[in-house]
Amino acid sequence: MSIVQHLINGELVAKGERTADVFNPSTGQAVRKVELASRATIQQAIDSAKAAFPAWRNTPPAKRAQVMFRFKQLLEQNEAKISQLISEEHGKTLEDAAGELKRGIENVEFACAAPELLKGEYSRNVGPNIDAWSDFQPLGIVAGITPFNFPAMVPLWMYPLAIACGNAFILKPSERDPSSTLFIAQLLLEAGLPKGILNVVHGDKEAVDALIEAPEVKALSFVGSTPIAEYIYAEGTKRGKRVQALGGAKNHAVLMPDADLDNAVSALMGAAYGSCGERCMAISVAVCVGDQVADALIAKLEPQIKALKIGAGTSCGLDMGPLVTAAARDKVVGYIDDGVAAGAKLVVDGRGLRVSGNEDGYFVGGTLFDKVTPQMRIYKEEIFGPVLCVVRVSSLEQAMQLINEHEYGNGTCIFTRDGEAARLFCDEIEVGMVGVNVPLPVPVAYHSFGGWKRSLFGDLHAYGPDGVRFYTRRKAITQRWPQRASHEASQFAFPSL
């Protein structure tokens, strides 16, 4: 069985340390092993980055951008292989994997604009013979810790921009599906990135803690569950690091009585059941304003959910693959059991699904609950599976109160034809990313991604303009050249114009 190795200083490194199995979720079989880094291995990666950083920092941004242009081309040329690796280890369909990669490539395209993004500001004659300007300089060594659900896209949110800004980067991807992440990193080296600027180390909590505690690591980016996001933010900031930690979500879709219901149903099907619900932007709650809307919605959803094409992710033409691990499957099934016990109406039951030829895969079918209340666990907690809950309310104001009182504030959307209702919703909802007739309002690469409340710890969102600010620090320079013939007396008052 092959072993997924670390990438340190441009070379694949096998340390012979602890390993973990990497499974194909469609079959339930281990397909390879992955090394789990010790603190010594993390330090080796840090030392490599530290040695490579000075030369890269002084590399002109235009030359850094040229590397990113070549990287983009290689990603596009290798789309089929990358999608296959994602699907084989994560379980998502090939089409979904290709879509993930395309959204990641958008962030590489944004990083190609480094010469423009890093331009400072300049003011002449802010005082007598005094000029002032600001400069955006790299932090040094920065690190990213990324989740299993987007092994290509989320790392591409981080290191292309960080590297284009002049930093050296250490990536700790999920150990559950590491192969596509490692392959993509190797493509960046092929594009001309100097050795040591990007290092990939696999691992578990030992590796995470080593990155948090290392004084050489100046900033940490994280995407994952809220408890771990909060831990990384607390421990990282305590040590003086800059941290952006994106956590969990419970995303609501509000359906107004005037909504285009057919289009809303199509949107909800993809948003709730795409990638088996393993998305931090997945819609897991449909808030229906009025019983008539709820009844009509369920009548249209039920047959479509039952007709979902589910199978091995590496097959073509599917709607949904398996969950990533047996533990993830069992957790989702446990939530469905809990919803039934709490009194929610189970309209479509995804438990017990068996896929012919893949009986040992980690499958759960699309599940739909009606008459869910805010007191139920299936409403309050992030299920991270193919489960959609319908909550009934009597007004838009009640729907908004429901959303605003939830501990998470990642994404939300409203389906309506009423511009006044949409404007009120966008203005008053306490959520970081909002869609109007758009179920997954994931910002494009030249905006920034991030939620509110317990969905994000830190002041700056991921990628886009906030990403540039996160991976750089501003230096303000004030310069004066007095005229040679003049002599000025000392000033003891605070200087001003």
pLDDT at 173 over 90: yes
How far does Cα 177 stand from its chain's mean position?
15
Mean pLDDT of 188-209: 98
Tell whether the torsion through CA atoms of 313, 318, 319 and 322 is positive or negative: negative
Phi (first) and psi of residue 421, to 5 degrees: -65, -40
- Separation between Cα atoms, residue 212 and residue 51, nearest integer Å: 20
Which domains does the chain show, CATH number per domain? Answer: 3-247+455-477 (3.40.605.10), 251-436 (3.40.309.10)
Tell me the pLDDT of the chain averaged across its residues: 96
283-289 and 168-172 beta bridge pairing: unpaired
- Separation between Cα atoms, residue 304 and residue 318, nearest integer Å: 14
pLDDT at residue number 111: 98
Element at 294 (helix H, strand E) = helix 291-306
Determine if residue 260 is left, alpha or beta; phi over 0 gives left, psi from -120 to 50 gives alpha, anything else beta.
beta
pLDDT at residue number 316: 86
Lowest mean pLDDT among 350-359, 373-382, 442-451, 488-497: 488-497
Report whether 467 contacts 459 (CB < 8 A). Answer: no
Tell whether the torsion through CA atoms of 178, 81, 104 and 91 is positive or negative: negative
Place of tokens 């039920």: 302
- Collect all residues with Cβ–Cβ distance below 8 Å to 425 and sequence separation of at least 6: 254, 396, 400, 414, 416, 434, 436
Tell whether the torsion through CA atoms of 311, 441, 247 and 84 is positive or negative: positive
SS3 state of residue 36: coil
Q: What is the pLDDT of residues 314-366, one digit of tens each?
A: 888 999 999 999 999 999 999 999 999 999 999 999 999 999 999 999 999 99
pLDDT at residue number 447: 95
Instruction: Say whether 280 is catalytic.
Output: yes
pLDDT at 101 over 70: yes
- Separation between Cα atoms, residue 179 and residue 169, nearest integer Å: 18
Q: What is the pLDDT of residues 415-473, one digit of tens each?
A: 999 999 999 999 999 999 999 999 999 999 999 999 999 999 999 999 999 999 999 99
In this prediction, residue 410 has a pLDDT band, given cuts at 50, 70 and 90, of very high
- Separation between Cα atoms, residue 474 and residue 481, nearest integer Å: 23
End-to-end CA distance of the chain: 72
Active-site option among 112, 165, 276, 280: 280
Element at 306 (helix H, strand E) = helix 291-306
- Separation between Cα atoms, residue 468 and residue 461, nearest integer Å: 10
- Separation between Cα atoms, residue 69 and residue 341, nearest integer Å: 54
Q: Which of 428, 426, 427 lies closest to 414 in space, CA to CA?
A: 426
Specify burial of residue 17 (Cβ count, 10 A radius: 0-12, 13-18, 19+): middle
